[in-house]
Amino acid sequence: MTDSKTVEVQKHIRCVPGDVARSALLPGDPARARRIAEQLDDARLIADNREYLVFTGTTNGVPVSVCSTGIGGSSAAIALEDLRNVGAEVFIRVGSAGGRRQDIPIGSLVVVTAAYRGDGVSDEYLPLGFPAVADLEVNNALIQAAGDLGYSAYTGIGTTRSAFYVRNADLNEQLQRAGVVAAEMEASTLFIVGTLRAAKVGCVVATDSNIYLEKQPTLAEKEALYMQGEVMTIRTALRAVQLLEGKS
């Protein structure tokens, strides 16, 4: 990590040391970043550049930042790298994902403990044989947080992909047989970059679809269910930050 005394404003997130908290939430969607900021105390907008919308505030007295990352591993990696350069150490992806088991309804809360590396970015950091896993402390805090809030959380390995509109049926079948819980586009990248940059990274998502459900809801129904799930992910992530900082 770069010495904070020599760090200039970060090219992409437009932040400097002192702008962000030790803990940062990483939603993909800038609109979700705004919705998270609405749940903070004294939230202030730090920067707004490209897909990166950055807020800093507090939750139960604990400083926390929020930075949207856009879609996919490349922009997520940039966000983590820039935030790490200016002092963030703990990261929680707060995202959306497609359910990958028939018993996972749309709108479910899922804690992703590790991820299949189909992101196409993490192999630039470490060879594909290296596992993409969540930090154990952050992972456990997310699970405890969900329990504290009375939420039922699915946990397990997810799959991260690089192309949203490309569906590899054979791979999907293999991964479903292996029991993956969700498919999304950032987790494996963040786990790998976090490992290399000595950062603690976890991931909690709400399912916005599930191709394996026998009965598919309408788009409007999916969106309504997802928004209910998103509320749970935000509350779970904020509670996890409190737990990680020793605030019961």
Residue-wise DSSP of 81-140:
HHHHHTT--EEEEEEEEEE-STT--TT-EEEEEEEEEESSSGGGTS-TTS-EE--HHHHH
Q: Give start and end residues of each alpha helix (H) in the chain.
A: 30-37, 73-85, 136-148, 169-177, 187-196, 219-244
- Tens of pLDDT along 161-209? 999 999 889 999 999 999 999 999 999 999 999 999 999 999 999 999 9
Cβ contacts of 12 within 8 Å, gap of 6 or more: 49, 50, 52, 78, 79, 82
**How far does CA 230 lie from the centroid of its chain?**
12
Do 110 and 154 form a contact (C-beta atoms < 8 A)? yes
Average pLDDT value over all residues in the chain = 95
What is the tens place of the pLDDT at every residue in 104-153? 999 999 999 999 999 999 999 999 999 999 999 999 999 999 999 999 99
Residue 137: CB atoms within 10 A of its CB come to 14
Per the document, the length of the chain is 248
The burial class, CB within 10 Å (0-12 / 13-18 / 19+), for 155 is middle
Instruction: List residues bridging with 160 in a β-sheet.
Output: 117, 184
Residue 3 has pLDDT above 60, yes or no: no
Other CB atoms closer than 10 Å to residue 108's CB: what's the count?
26
Which pair of structure tokens corresponds to residue 110?
């899922």
**Domain 4-244 in CATH 1.10.150.530:** no
Torsion sign (Cα): 141, 144, 148, 149: positive
Going by DSSP bridges, is the β-strand pair 200-210/52-59 parallel, antiparallel, or unpaired?
unpaired
First to last CA, the chain: 31
- Burial class for 163, CB neighbours closer than 10 Å (0-12, 13-18, 19+): exposed
pLDDT at 1: 44
Instruction: Determine the 3-state secondary structure of 212 from DSSP.
Output: coil
The tens digit of pLDDT for each residue in 34-81 reads: 999 999 999 999 999 999 999 999 999 999 999 999 999 999 999 999
